[in-house]
């Protein structure tokens, strides 16, 4: 990784990109049975030098990006190197007035690292993607995701990350051997109760060369001719798994469920204080551009809702939550822009799930 050249961000046509992507490490030290990362990249993370990543972020800043996704398999796979990067990233952010909002992927044990959480907050990380997979401890143990069952509860860990000022996006899987048909309700309740706004839910998939694939092959449970659901679940039929999966996704992306999750983290006063502070630092001197961004989103979203005939069914919910929740928390211009951004994000997922359920999209690993 220390020899990877800096990408030519200056060649990109910025109008086509919502955010840029960079990579600091490859590999993950854990051993989740279903995951192909450890097969492809290994369990010993390989790392760039901090100066390399800072050079890439500097090029992204000059190219006009405002957000960057550090797409590591596990940003804290090597905690010493992650800390070294953050300690150099913070002064770079301060020097350039916080030009980039950052997000990344990390394992749940980030919650047990208060120093790293504080450094990430100060380095303008706004969110982190966590592989939670399931609230069922038996399923986590089954799939060797032992880092998720150590220590206190998943809910307590998530609350610590949120209190540190980071939003949580998370991955979930249905179809483990310990999953019966009650798993769909369990997953829905866990996601709602813990304020995980963007919940990326998928069916279990046996990827070739993974330990899961090899185990299911030994048990003669592979259905390789079907790329959508390529194995036989243990406690339900393949049809029941696919049906339950789509109903879960549909419920999660109703406008009411999505916005309930969005406002759920507002119960943490420290989260609100920290988010407000970092937004003030990043938004100094940018009040009018931020307001313009929020109004542009509102206009574009209104047009999209009108064209889709969803002003009453969906737009009404956006307006209702704005009047009842946004005003309650007095979030100001930055909060208005963030709320509109969340509504636009929801509209994307809402349309996607309904088009997929209706068969208007070709989907993979989802029936």
pLDDT tier for residue 337 given thresholds of 50, 70 and 90: confident
What per-residue confidence (pLDDT) applies to 163?
93
How far apart CA 309 and CA 252 sit, in angstroms, is: 21
Q: Is the pLDDT of residue 167 over 80?
A: yes
Q: Where are the domains of the chain?
A: 9-253, 286-357
Q: Are 108 and 148 in contact (CB under 8 A)?
A: yes
Give CA–CA dist 101/293, Å, rounded: 15
**What is the pTM for the complete model shown?**
0.92
- Block residue for tokens 């969110």: 127
Sign of CA dihedral 180, 183, 184, 185: positive
- Tell me the CA end-to-end span of the chain in Å, nearest whole number: 37
Element (H, E) at 335: helix 332-357
**pLDDT of amino acid 267:** 81
Q: Is the pLDDT of residue 226 over 60?
A: yes
Residue 364: predicted pLDDT: 66
Count CB neighbours of 181 within 10 A: 13
Question: What are the CB-based long-range contacts (under 8 Å, 24+) for 254-259?
Answer: 254/350, 255/314, 255/317, 255/318, 255/346, 255/350, 256/317, 257/192, 258/197, 258/342, 258/346, 258/349, 258/350, 259/317, 259/318, 259/321, 259/325, 259/342, 259/346
Q: Give residue 332's pLDDT.
A: 73
Q: In the structure, what pLDDT confidence band is assigned to residue 134 with cuts at 50, 70 and 90?
A: very high
Taking residues 198-217, report their average pLDDT: 95
Q: Does pLDDT of 55 surpass 90?
A: yes
Per-residue pLDDT of 76-101, as tens digits, reads 999 999 999 999 999 999 999 999 99
pLDDT for 287 beyond 70: no
Asked if 222 and 205 touch (Cβ cutoff 8 Å), the reply is no
CA–CA separation, 59 and 61 (whole Å): 5
The least confident of 4-18, 43-57, 110-124 is: 4-18
Quote the pLDDT of residue 194: 96
Model confidence band, residue 367 (pLDDT cutoffs 50, 70, 90): low
DSSP, collapsed to helix, strand or coil, labels residue 98 as: coil
State the number of CA atoms in the 13 A half-sphere of 70 facing the CB: 32
pLDDT band at 259 (very low <50, low <70, confident <90, very high): very high
Model pLDDT, residue 366: 57
* Contacts of 201 by beta carbon, 8 Å cutoff, 6+ apart: 171, 172, 173, 174, 187, 245, 248, 249, 252
CATH tag, 9-253: 3.20.20.70
């Amino acid at each position: 990784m220390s020899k990877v050249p800096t990408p030519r961000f200056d060649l990109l046509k910025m109008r086509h990109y919502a955010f840029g992507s960079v990579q600091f490490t490859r590999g993950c030290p854990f051993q989740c049975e279903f995951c192909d990362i450890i097969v492809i990249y290994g369990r010993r993370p390989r790392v760039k030098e901090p100066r390399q990543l800072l050079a890439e972020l500097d090029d992204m800043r000059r190219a006009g990006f405002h957000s960057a996704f550090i797409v590591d398999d596990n940003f804290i796979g090597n905690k010493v190197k992650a800390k070294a990067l953050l300690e150099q990233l913070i002064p770079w952010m301060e020097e350039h007035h916080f030009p980039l909002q950052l997000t990344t992927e990390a394992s749940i044990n980030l919650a047990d690292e208060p120093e790293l959480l504080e450094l990430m907050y100060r380095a303008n990380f706004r969110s982190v993607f966590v592989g939670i997979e399931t609230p069922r401890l038996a399923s986590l143990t089954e799939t060797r995701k032992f880092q998720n069952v150590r220590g206190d509860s998943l809910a307590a860990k998530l609350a610590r990350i949120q209190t540190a000022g980071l939003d949580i996006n998370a991955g979930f899987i249905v179809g483990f051997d310990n999953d019966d048909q009650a798993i769909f309700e369990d997953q829905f309740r866990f996601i709602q109760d813990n304020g995980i706004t963007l919940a990326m839910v998928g069916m279990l998939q046996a990827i070739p060369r993974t330990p899961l694939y090899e185990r299911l092959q030994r048990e003669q449970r592979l259905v390789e001719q079907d790329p959508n659901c390529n194995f036989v679940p243990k406690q339900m039929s393949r049809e029941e798994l696919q049906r339950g999966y789509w109903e879960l996704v549909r419920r999660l992306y109703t406008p009411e469920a999505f916005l309930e999750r969005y406002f759920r983290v507002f119960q943490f006063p420290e989260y609100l204080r920290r988010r407000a502070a970092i937004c003030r630092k990043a938004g100094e001197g940018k009040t009018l551009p931020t307001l313009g961004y929020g109004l542009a989103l509102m206009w574009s979203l209104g047009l999209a809702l009108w064209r889709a005939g969803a002003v009453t069914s969906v737009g009404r919910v956006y307006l209702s939550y704005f009047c009842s929740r946004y005003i309650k928390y007095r979030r100001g211009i930055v909060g208005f822009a963030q709320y509109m951004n969340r509504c636009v994000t929801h509209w994307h997922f809402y349309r996607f799930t309904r088009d997929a359920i209706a068969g208007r999209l070709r989907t993979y690993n989802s029936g």
